[in-house]
Amino acid sequence: MTEVEKNPESSSPATPQAQPAIPPAPSTRWLHPWREMEREFERFFNRPLSMTPREWPRLDEWFRTAELELPAMDVIDRDAEVVVRAQVPGMTAEDLDVTLTDQSLTVRGHKRSETEENGEFHRREISSREFIRTIELPAAVDAEKAKASCKDGLLEITVPKREVARKQKLTIEST
């Protein structure tokens, strides 16, 4: 009888197999989930917030609401004064508080709705509004002499500059 070699890992006799000339490339199937995740990160982080995925509509809404809470402001640097205008729609002078230092201005607004409603709110966005915004002024100002007014949702603050902060044009002498 002829002896047959047995594979130590199996109970069947060893059979000669043809070796391929070029070994197969290692499988990359395990990389596909990572590539897909990388594509999703790229898609999410490289788009503006207005294009947030539909799975997160409230996140987009939250960012838009946060932007709307701060009043838009103009700061005008004049020769002898600084003028700040802030859009505060629906607010009156009683709803606002302005604080000045020689280099910054803080505007706080607080408006609460006093209306009573029968029933349960499904969504309530106009019940109150509150914000605080601080800006740096372009020059040192005299806060003691500031004037402020609020009309038709526009807050205007005029503050004279300190003497040392006023611009003065110099004449250049030829030598």
Q: What is the pLDDT of residues 86-136, one digit of tens each?
A: 999 989 999 999 999 989 999 999 987 777 778 887 777 666 788 999 999
Give the pLDDT confidence score for residue 64 in this predicted structure: 52
pTM of the complete model:
0.55
CATH no. of 71-113+128-165? 2.60.40.790
| pLDDT beneath 70, residues of the chain | 1-33, 44-68, 125-127, 165-166
Phi, psi of 65 (to 5 degrees): -65, -40
Q: How far apart are CA 93 and CA 86, in angstroms?
A: 12
Q: How far apart are CA 78 and CA 165, in angstroms?
A: 11
Pairing of strands 128-136, 154-160: unpaired
In the chain, where the domains are located = 30-67, 71-113+128-165
